[in-house]
A and B are shown apart, each in its own frame.
Chain A
């Protein structure tokens, strides 16, 4: 998804210190970012801190970000995910493995509020693309999600799934290739 003109203008205004523009960008992206980080950290407190860190990072660096060439959504998600992975890996270092639970099914049943304004990223295209991820073959989706949400390396994923490293690599490669083609084609 290339950044839209609207996003370019938002970023430019944020770069000029326009807080209302930051608020508008928050309205658009906070929900997917928060959902992702909550699933990764399983902590509402951590998720809130990370979302706050991410949008403050946008506030600080928007002026040097070229939204015509870059993809704001990709950038925001990447920064948020890296922060979440830092915390997950730090936690893993501090806690015995027996206390680390599988987060892959976290937040099942956790509600989510309505979006009366309909102005978040979850409207049309994004919904179709999110379904697209879940429509991948289960084993490909599982391997990708273990890497994405839990920050596992391919040997760790192989160990978790009881598969060979080669199998895991192939599953990730096939799944990611499908996603890439779908995103390039607008999800169709």
Chain B
């Protein structure tokens, strides 16, 4: 006769809602009592059906194909040495990190022995039920350990991404932004993002008039101490007057302060000759 308390613990256990000492104590009871183990197996079967109370959603059609392709390319399970190499490649290498895999391997071997047991007599049914619950638990534990390793891999990848973003942010602190305006027409707009470190920039313009043949817009970078502006190339605008131009000045301009666009003859000029269209 199984007590009400054990019924309660069994129902919580299969939902992973039993924790700490209570869980440890309960597992000892299961290991020693085949009737209780059979009860746990029944609760576990019942718990699986809770999954069906989720609203049904059909998986994407492509998923099946991906799984079959992965299975096809993975005819054999990875050897332990492969798994160890994988752990060694992680940032948290060392003997301690191998412990979960050693446990998993031990569980798997034990599970294999149990599952490989030959047919038993009717008198052994209860014992088999107990073993089944143990094996189910072992499979589950192996899956948990696999999941923990995967989770750690993802966390490491996420942290690496955070580092990359922080590095980019730090780099962006040096990037200059400039807004350009026009004395010819207030509707002309432009902005420049300029990276002094790489000596590259991006110019975006809006609502500049489209030019006919024989004329080009030319971008100039101006430094306070340099007598002449440095050309950063010619460009054209789209029919709607917009353009995005990646530019690199013809000479180094470590102290670039001003950006200006002039209207020049086709092909551009060595130094500004035409009117300034827009500048900061």
* Complex alpha-carbon distance, A81 and B54, angstroms: 12
Q: Shortest Cβ distance from B222 into chain A, in angstroms?
A: 47
Candidates B18, B42, B52, B64; contact of A154 at CB < 8 Å? B18
For A157, what are the chain B residues with a Cβ–Cβ distance below 8 Å? 17
A78 engages B144 (CB within 8 Å) = no
Residues of chain B within 8 A of A53, CB atoms compared: 146, 150
Would you call B55 and A112 a contact (CB within 8 A)? yes
Instruction: Assess whether B143 is in contact with A83, with CB atoms less than 8 Å apart.
Output: yes
Whether A148 pairs with B155 at a CB distance below 8 angstroms is no
Residues of A within 8 A of B55 (CB): 35, 39, 107-108, 110, 112
The prevalent SS among residues of B at the interface is: helix
| Interface: B197 (CB within 8 A) | no
Q: How far is the CA of A74 from the CA of B40 in the complex (A)?
A: 12
Partner of A60, one of B18, B63, B77: B77
Which of A65, A87, A153 has the most B CB atoms < 10 Å from its CB? Answer: A153
- State the CA gap A66–B119 with chains docked (Å): 11
A131 CB to closest chain B CB (Å) equals 9
* Of the residues A32, A61, A94, contact of B51 by C-beta under 8 Å: A32
How far does the alpha carbon of A183 sit from the alpha carbon of B50 in the complex, in Å?
11
Bound together, the chains give a CA A186 to CA B151 distance in angstroms of: 37
- Asked if B274 is an interface residue, CB under 8 A from chain A, the answer is no
CA separation between A179 and B64, bound complex, in Å? 31
Determine if A90 and B15 form an interchain contact, defined as CB atoms under 8 angstroms apart: no
* Proximity string of chain A (47-65) to chain B, C-beta cutoff 8 Å, 1 when within and 0 when not: 1100111011101110011
A86 touches B53 (CB 8 A): no
Residues of chain B within 8 A of A56, CB atoms compared = 67, 70-71, 74
Quick check: is B66 within 8 A (CB to CB) of the other chain? yes
Mostly, the A contact residues are helix
Question: Beta-carbon contacts of B141-158 to A below 8 Å, as 1s and 0s?
Answer: 001101110110011001
Find chain A residues with CB under 8 A from B17 CB: 147, 152-154, 157, 172
> How many of chain A's residues touch chain B, expressed as a range?
35 or more
Q: Is the CB of A129 within 8 A of B52?
A: yes
- Output the nearest chain A residue to B141 by Cβ-Cβ distance: A82
> Given the complex, which residues of B lie within 8 Å of A183, measured CB to CB?
42, 45-46, 49
Q: How far is the CA of A98 from the CA of B269 in the complex (A)?
A: 59
A130-157 vs B, Cβ < 8 Å mask (1 yes, 0 no): 1011100000010011011101111101
Q: Assess the A23–B136 pair: CB atoms within 8 A.
A: no
B143 touches A179 (CB 8 A): no
Residues from chain B with a CB closer than 8 A to the CB of A74 are 44-45, 48, 136
B68 contacts A52, C-beta separation under 8 Å: no
User: Distance in Å from the Cβ of B258 to the closest Cβ of chain A?
Assistant: 44
Residues of A near B45 (CB, < 8 A) are 1, 71, 74, 180, 183
In chain B, positions 120-164 with a C-beta closer than 8 Å to chain A are 128, 132, 135-136, 139-140, 143-144, 146-148, 150-151, 154-155, 158
Residues A26 and B64 in contact, CB atoms below 8 Å apart:
yes
Question: A110 vs B57: C-alpha distance in the bound complex, in angstroms?
Answer: 7
List, in ascending order, chain B residues with CB within 8 A of A55's CB: 67, 71
Provide the residues of chain B in CB contact with A33, threshold 8 Å. 51
Could you give, for residues 16-55 of chain B, a 1 whenever the CB lies within 8 Å of some chain A CB and a 0 otherwise? 1111000000000000000000000011111111111111
- Seed contacts A81-B51, A107-B57, A173-B8; 5 additional CB < 8 Å A-B pairs: A35-B54, A35-B57, A65-B115, A69-B128, A86-B147
**A-B residue pairs in contact (CB < 8 Å), sample of 28:** A19-B72, A30-B63, A34-B57, A35-B55, A35-B56, A38-B57, A52-B63, A57-B143, A60-B77, A64-B116, A69-B132, A70-B132, A78-B48, A82-B147, A86-B151, A87-B147, A90-B154, A132-B49, A133-B52, A147-B16, A151-B16, A154-B17, A172-B8, A172-B17, A173-B4, A173-B12, A183-B42, A183-B46
Binding site for B on A (CB under 8 A): 1, 17, 19, 22-23, 26-27, 30-36, 38-39, 44, 47-48, 51-53, 55-57, 59-61, 64-66, 69-71, 73-75, 77-79, 81-83, 85-87, 90, 94, 107-108, 110-113, 115, 122, 126-127, 129-130, 132-134, 141, 144-145, 147-149, 151-155, 157, 169-170, 172-173, 175-177, 179-180, 182-184
